[in-house]
Amino acid sequence: MAANVAHQAGTPLNLVSGYVQMILGDPRTDERTRSRLRTVDAQIQQVTRVLRTMLDRARPPSGFEAVSLGAIITRVREVAQPRLWRSNIRLETSVAAGLPAVKVDPTQLEMALLNLVTNALDAMPGGGTLSIQASAGPKAVRLEVADSGPGLPAEVLSHLFDPWVTTKPAGQGSGLGLAIVRDVVRTHGGSVSAYNQSPGAVVVIELPVSGPPVTSS
Ligand SMILES: Nc1ncnc2c1ncn2[C@@H]1O[C@H](COP(=O)(O)OP(=O)(O)OP(=O)(O)O)[C@@H](O)[C@H]1O
Ligand SMILES: [Mg+2]
């Protein structure tokens, strides 16, 4: 249901955005109109992002396959690279030798990691260090995303993974990122937790080596 609404609203919005781009690109458009249109465009982007998130949440996992976490981390690095450069953030990655392959939906897991990376980027506007580490325990593989930002605010710690929990101003955060991470991890039969170190936040995802439970739809 939510997915339908998101899709129905997103489609015309996308076309509206096309018109906004067209008028912005027209050399006859004066600067005052241009500036107003940029405001319109920023709002369209914001709504699109929220709708996109709703759709992503509703999408059933497309397929589990045995993948190396190293490959997924490499993908995430590629996608995030431009923003890492711009924000002056150093990304350190490490993958333990001999890490077993995990049975995951790579698209969903990548999206979850990108949500964590985005949060870390938001937390370090002046630059810093981000680390993504993959290691293995006896029954689970562990993915750890740590940053050198100010850490998780105390007021959100107890309900961090619930939807709509955010400390960001309206228009900059919807509070869905970590809820999506939790959904994705649960679909994979895993668990997620977060804590503060000094300095910075750490999010830990544990995924079963054996793969997701067969019961999930
Ligand atoms: N790495 C981090 N460092 C500091 N605070 C964080 C970090 N990650 C999450 N948070 C805090 O947790 C809140 C919830 O994060 P979440 O990703 O769910 O939503 P959001 O980032 O606010 O919005 P959205 O992800 O929907 O754009 C954030 O608003 C922020 O206060
Ligand atoms: Mg977020």
188 φ, ψ to 5°?
-90, 5
168 Cβ below 6 A of ligand 1: yes
pLDDT at 217: 43
Distance between CA atoms of 20 and 133, rounded to whole angstroms?
42
Distance between CA atoms of 149 and 65, rounded to whole angstroms?
34
Superfamily of domain 65-208: Histidine kinase-like ATPase, C-terminal domain (3.30.565.10)
160 Cβ below 6 A of ligand 1: yes
174 Cβ below 6 A of ligand 1: yes
Distance between CA atoms of 104 and 126, rounded to whole angstroms?
34
Ligand 2: centre distance to CA 64 (Å)? 25
pLDDT at 212: 67
List C-alpha distances in Å: 129 to 86, 161, 177: 13, 23, 20
pLDDT tens, per residue, the chain with 217 residues:
677 777 777 778 878 888 898 899 999 999 999 999 998 988 888 888 878 877 777 766 667 889 999 999 998 998 888 888 889 999 999 999 989 889 898 888 988 998 999 999 999 999 999 999 999 988 899 999 999 999 999 999 999 999 999 999 887 888 989 999 999 999 999 999 999 999 999 999 999 987 666 544 4
pLDDT at 8: 78
Closest ligand, as measured to the CA of 168: 1
For the record, the structure tokens of 30 come out as 């004066």
pLDDT at 94: 96
Nearest CA to ligand 1 atom 27: 173
pLDDT at 61: 63
